[in-house]
Amino acid sequence: MKPSDKFKRPLRDLRISVTDRCNFRCTYCMPKEMFGRDYEFLPHDDLLSFEEIEQVARSFASLGVNKIRLTGGEPLMRRDLESLISMLANIPGVDDLAITSNGSFSRERASSLKEAGLTRMTVSLDALDDETFMRMNDVDFPVARVLDWIDASSEVGLNPVKINMVVKRGVNEHAILPMAEYFKDSGHILRLIEYMDVGHSNGWRLDDVVSAQEMHDLINAEMPIEPAEANYQGEVAKRYRYLDGAGEIGMISSVTQPFCGDCSRARISADGKLYTCLFAIGGKDLRSLIRSGASEEELSAAISSVWSKREDRYSELRSAQTQDLPKVEMSYIGG
């Protein structure tokens, strides 16, 4: 039986963090002040193995999940990730297998990911000028190499490539229009994301949030847009199409216009904990279940039990009462 939570939300999407490591130190996710050279990442034995990830994914698929996204950290830092992708691509019922990457790898890697069975690519890019982008990734990584990765992903058929841009006031809101102009009519989809209060390391303040409405008005004044229908119930980004027919743009407004009501996403951390909200303060330990010899049916029952009790709606409740909760870090749970 396919589970629904206490608000009748089905379980359809699974996001799996395959590593808590990343080669960037983006200021809104893994700032150097916290994730410095002495930071202790998870030891390899604490990570779910590929076989364990496959077991988890099969159990979720049996409960109705058809979309899987691999996240991190930076997922491509997990060695031989193509083997895992091949394993997941062969699970019955899974017809959408995606990855979110910072695009810092050689373009040849895009081809091997596609050949392994990857169906979609999302790339993080927060500005088109090196000065801003390097200040945000904090490792002096240039824009050109990320653009090359986007081109390579498109060339091998991972289309449309989605580009995630996190917007923080006073940092990169000036880059919104150049990003929109660059990706307009490119066949790719830019998604503008409100700066979120995930974890505690990024110093989040509401004043730093550029609202989706502000971003909409900025785009619309220069390149008129109109709302487009969602591709499916629970889609994270609100879709808009350019009036001149030159593609679409998306906006993710989890701070100012929460979409908890349709959320169908579960998340697995790199060490095998099940989280039912991006802003969760705790997770269900699936790794211990697997390593104690639990069958796929027993694992599915445990997942179903957690989901049926779910009543998360943090973004709808966000207030002074929620801002200091001990939320899990983005780099640990994935986006």
Residue 237 structure tokens: 């980004």
Domain count across the chain: 1
SS3 125: coil
Check whether 179 has a pLDDT greater than 70. Answer: yes
DSSP-derived 3-state class of residue 23: coil
Q: What is the pLDDT of residue 21?
A: 96
Closest CA relative to residue 123, chosen from 149, 141, 84: 149
What average pLDDT does the structure give for the chain? 91
Residue 182 lies in a domain: yes
In a domain, 3, yes or no: no
Q: Is residue 23 part of a domain?
A: yes
Residue 8 lies in a domain: no
Put simply, whether the predicted model's pTM sits higher than 0.75 gets the answer yes
User: What count of Cα atoms within 13 Å lies in the side-chain half-sphere of residue 307?
Assistant: 28
Q: What is the mean pLDDT of residues 320-324?
A: 50
Beta-bridge mates of residue 274? 268, 284
| Res. 200: pLDDT tops 60 | no
Q: Does residue 325 register a pLDDT over 60?
A: no
Q: What is the average pLDDT across 24-42?
A: 91
The residue type of 241 is R
Q: pLDDT at position 261, please?
A: 82
In a domain, residue 303? The reply is yes
Residue 243 resides in a domain: yes
pLDDT value at 145 more than 80: yes
In this prediction, residue 282 carries a pLDDT of 84
Contacts 24+ apart (CB under 8 A), 209-215: 209/168, 209/169, 209/255, 209/256, 210/167, 210/168, 210/169, 210/173, 210/176, 211/253, 211/255, 211/256, 212/238, 212/251, 212/252, 212/253, 212/256, 212/257, 213/253, 213/256, 213/257, 215/167, 215/176, 215/251
pLDDT tens digit sequence for 260-274 = 888 899 999 999 999
Question: Residue 335: its pLDDT value, please?
Answer: 59
Q: Looking at the domain assignment, is residue 138 inside a domain?
A: yes
Average pLDDT over residues 3-18: 95
Return d(Cα 279, Cα 238) in angstroms, integer. Answer: 20
Whether residue 204 has pLDDT greater than 70: no
Handedness of CA 316, 320, 325, 328 (dihedral sign): positive
Angle, helix 176-183 to helix 212-222, in steps of 10 degrees: 60
CA distance 195 to 79: 30
The stretch 145-174 carries a mean pLDDT of 97
What integer pLDDT is reported at residue 319 of this predicted model? Answer: 47
User: Quick check: is 291 in a domain?
Assistant: yes
Q: Which two tokens stand for residue 305?
A: 């039990």
Task: Provide the domain limits for residue 317.
Answer: 13-333
Q: Average pLDDT, stretch 147-169?
A: 97
Q: What is the structure's pLDDT at 23?
A: 96
Q: Is residue 202 predicted with pLDDT exceeding 60?
A: no
Residue 276 maps to which CATH number? 3.20.20.70
pLDDT beyond 60 at 46: yes
Q: Is the pLDDT of residue 321 over 50?
A: no
The share of the chain scoring above pLDDT 70, in percent, equals: 91
How far apart CA 225 and CA 127 sit, in angstroms, is 21
Is residue 324 pLDDT above 60, yes or no? no
Strand, helix or coil for residue 286? helix
Mean pLDDT over residues 133-154, rounded?
97
Read off the pLDDT of each residue in 298-306 and give the average, rounded to a whole number.
Answer: 97
The answer on pLDDT for 332 being more than 80 is no
pLDDT at 125: 98
DSSP state of 209: B
